[in-house]
């Protein structure tokens, strides 16, 4: 997979692509991640990419020309162009599972007061990571990239993400490691039993209890 991220602040991604699982996925050539400053697509001699909004109002608006020129330069037949936007669809695990099937993602990071509305005509999908406003789309771009890359074959153990929270609309079951007894809080005996069927049953029951306690709305969706 190839992921191109269009941003005004490339250095924000320095740690993101040079650490941990993302770095390993890049080194194993499972994914190619390019961080692109779309200022270079500006035709303005000062590389300006924003201006005041028509009709007045606070803040600056990203101009359509540099963003669209960047998209058109990078886009291929198999590309999906994503706009990080508070007005987009709510990002969920099932969206990440769909995105991982694409060979090429282009993620446009917003900033300032917003985008020139005409940019939307060149975008395939708008995504919001939550009902709140951030200073820019860089963090949402990292969230999308991280959640998709971990699903790619060879990045992590497939069994790990198949039992994650939100799979089948259930939260994950609790996990434990050594020591067995920590200040009187002991690991459930069933996990030491070696009986895989009982362990599987226990974990499913814990998923249901966990979801009912913390996110009962997910159970309602599961039963729809």
> Where are the strands (E) in the chain, listed by range?
2-7, 32-37, 50-51, 61-62, 79-90, 104-108, 114-115, 125-128, 181-182, 185-186
DSSP state, residue 38:
G
Q: Which of 37, 86, 126, 172 is catalytic?
A: 86
| 60 closest CA partner among 126, 118, 115, 129 | 115
Q: Is 87 exposed, middle or buried (0-12, 13-18, 19+ CB in 10 A)?
A: exposed
Length of the chain (residues): 224
The active-site residue, picked from 37, 65, 93, 113, is 113
Q: Pick the catalytic residue: 24, 150, 203, 215? A: 150
| Residue 150 designated active-site | yes
Q: Residue 149 forms beta bridges with which residues?
A: none
Please pick, among 93, 164, 172, 206, the residue that the annotation labels catalytic.
164
For 151, the token pair is: 């699903």
Active site residues: 86, 113, 150, 164
């Amino acid at each position: 997979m190839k992921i191109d991220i269009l941003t005004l602040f490339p250095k924000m991604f320095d740690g993101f692509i040079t650490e941990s699982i993302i770095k390993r996925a890049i080194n194993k050539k499972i994914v190619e991640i390019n961080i692109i400053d779309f200022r270079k697509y500006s035709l303005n001699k000062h590389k300006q990419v924003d201006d005041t909004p028509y009709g007045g109002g606070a803040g600056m608006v990203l101009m359509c020309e540099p963003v669209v020129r960047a998209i058109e330069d990078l886009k291929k037949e198999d590309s999906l162009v994503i706009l990080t936007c508070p007005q987009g669809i709510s990002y969920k695990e099932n969206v990440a599972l769909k995105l991982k099937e694409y060979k090429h993602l282009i993620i446009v990071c917003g900033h300032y007061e917003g985008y020139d509305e005409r940019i939307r005509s060149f975008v395939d999908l708008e995504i919001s990571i939550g009902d709140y406003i951030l200073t820019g789309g860089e963090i949402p771009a990292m969230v999308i990239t991280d959640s998709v890359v971990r699903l790619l074959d060879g990045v992590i153990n497939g069994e790990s993400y198949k039992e994650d929270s939100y799979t089948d609309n259930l939260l994950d079951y609790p996990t434990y490691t050594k020591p067995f007894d920590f200040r009187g809080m002991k690991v459930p005996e069933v996990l030491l039993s070696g009986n895989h069927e009982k362990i599987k049953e226990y974990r499913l029951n814990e998923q249901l209890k966990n979801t009912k306690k913390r996110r009962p709305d997910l159970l309602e969706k599961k039963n729809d």
